[in-house]
Structure 1
Amino acid sequence: MSLKKATLLIIVILLIDQISKFYIKTQFSLHQRIEVFSWFQILFVENDGMAWGTKLSDFIPGISDRKAKLALTLFRIFAVIGIGYWLVVSVKKNGPKTLIIAIALILSGALGNIIDSVFYGVIFSDSYGQVATFLPEVGYDTLFHGKVVDMLHFPIWQGLLPQWIPFYGGEHFTFFEPVFNVADMAISSGIGILIIFNKKVFHEEDDHVEKNPYDVNE
């Protein structure tokens, strides 16, 4: 798979992700929801941390939420640079198509969420009890402190867990509880491909390197 095709895939996913987030941010107030089906809702929430709303400050004692947020955003930027390098190298080595698609998915998703974290605090007003304004005089936060916009919610099943389940028996449970976005889907899909096809992907890559140790364009 060529770098041009991989880049096109990244751009398409990035556009879908950002267009959906822009629409939600400018049409919904925070926590507003629309039920599309009983098992699928559009629910606007904002994520200030890592996956599932976890914050870096939850794991590092003594660090403030703002410093943790900045550190997480900077880490994501460096991670994206590394993933981008991995993609370019894999393409130059004529790596397996499956591997290149997986890396492109992960990269597009990471870029999508980084845009939120870096710029959204500046280019949008807050969404508490109101629909946000695009390019306000003053945004809801500073550069690098934006919140990731999530909106896809699939409460496929809700109910009380059986009493015989240890610790959680009798408690209300929702499957699937987390709210996510297109970028999260891309990242999860890319990682899933690497896990499911891991032997095939990395075995083919190793075989190619052994056969073509000098000519990366063969």
Structure 2
Amino acid sequence: MDLKKSLLLIIVVLLIDQISKIYIKTHFEYQESVEVFRWFKILFIENSGAAWGTKLNDFLPISESTGKLILTIFRLFAIVGIGYWLYDIIKKKSARVLIVAVSLIFAGALGNIIDSVFYGVIFNDSYNQVATLFADEPYGKLFHGKVVDMLYFPIIQDAVWPDWVPFVGGNNFSFFEPVFNIADSAISIGVALLIIFNKKAFPKKGQEERSEEGNE
């Protein structure tokens, strides 16, 4: 897989991700939802933290604003590292599955970074109103944007753990609780590809040599 195909994949994922986020942000109020199927809803929420809404200030004695800034800067460094990794494996003509997986991870990470860096200065608040793109009074500042999430799959709702289950017996539970976006999906698919096709993505030296001989 060459650089052009990798870039095309990244651009397609980014376009779908950003178009879906901008549409949700400019058509839904915060926590507004639409039921597509019983087990699938479009639910608009915003995530100012890391995965699962985790915030640095939950663990460190810093303000939420400082924690958000640190997280965004960390993401910027991470995307540079992923970008270099992608460039390197394309240059080395590594396995197609590895290039596809890293391209998806890069696109997903970049999609969420766009939210974190820019959304705070181009959108106004979504609480009790539909936000405006390029608002006169944005809700935040540069590097302090919130990531837009909207994909919700409550496959099991309001179920109860059997009484015999240790610790949680008798408690209510739902599956699947997290709300995510296209960028998150791309990252998850990329990671899944690396796990499932681990041997193809990271062949041993002997396998690489035999593969190169076979291509010649």
**Correspondence 1:1-218 to 2 at 5 A:** 1-60=1-60, 62-158=61-157, 159-203=159-203, 207-208=207-208
Q: Deviations over 1:134-177 (max 9, x none)?
A: 11112100100000000000000111111111121111111000
Once superposed, which parts of structure 1, at least 4 consecutive aligned residues long, lie more than 4 Å away?
Answer: 204-207, 209-212
What letter corresponds to residue 57 of structure 1 in structure 2? N
Query: 49-58 or 140-149, which moves further after superposition?
Result: 49-58
Q: Spell out, residue by residue over 1:68-120, the C-alpha distance to the aligned partner (whole angstroms, 9 max, x if none).
A: 11010001011001101101110010000000000000000000000000000
Cα RMSD after superposing both structures? 1.7
Alpha-carbon separation, structure 2, partners of 1:139 and 1:38: 35
Q: Give TM-score scaled by structure 2 length.
A: 0.94
- TM-score normalized by structure 1? 0.93
Residues 1:31 and 1:205: Cα distance change in structure 2 (over 3 Å): farther
Say which is worse superposed, 71-80 or 161-170, in terms of deviation.
161-170
How far, CA to CA, are the matches of 1:200 and 1:78 in structure 2? 28
The letter of the residue matching 2:37 is: F
Mark the CA change 1:196 to 1:43 in structure 2 (over 3 Å): closer, same or farther: same
Q: Would you say the 8 A contact 1:31–1:43 is kept in 2?
A: yes
User: Which residue identity does 2:109 align to in structure 1?
Assistant: A
Q: Which 5+ residue runs of structure 1 have no aligned equivalent?
A: 213-217
Q: CA deviation at 1:188?
A: 0.5
Task: For residue 200 of structure 1, report the CA deviation from its aligned partner.
Answer: 2.1
Per the alignment, do residues 19 and 92 of structure 1 end up closer, same or farther by CA in structure 2, a change over 3 Å counting? same
Q: The residue matched to 2:148 in structure 1 has which SS?
A: strand
Number of residue pairs matched?
Answer: 212
1-structure distance, mates of 2:141, 2:150: 23
Shift of 1:199: 2.1
CA distance in 1, matches of 2:205, 2:91: 12
Q: Is the 8 A contact 1:96 1:204 kept in 2?
A: no
Q: Identify the residue that residue 215 of structure 1 maps to in structure 2.
A: none
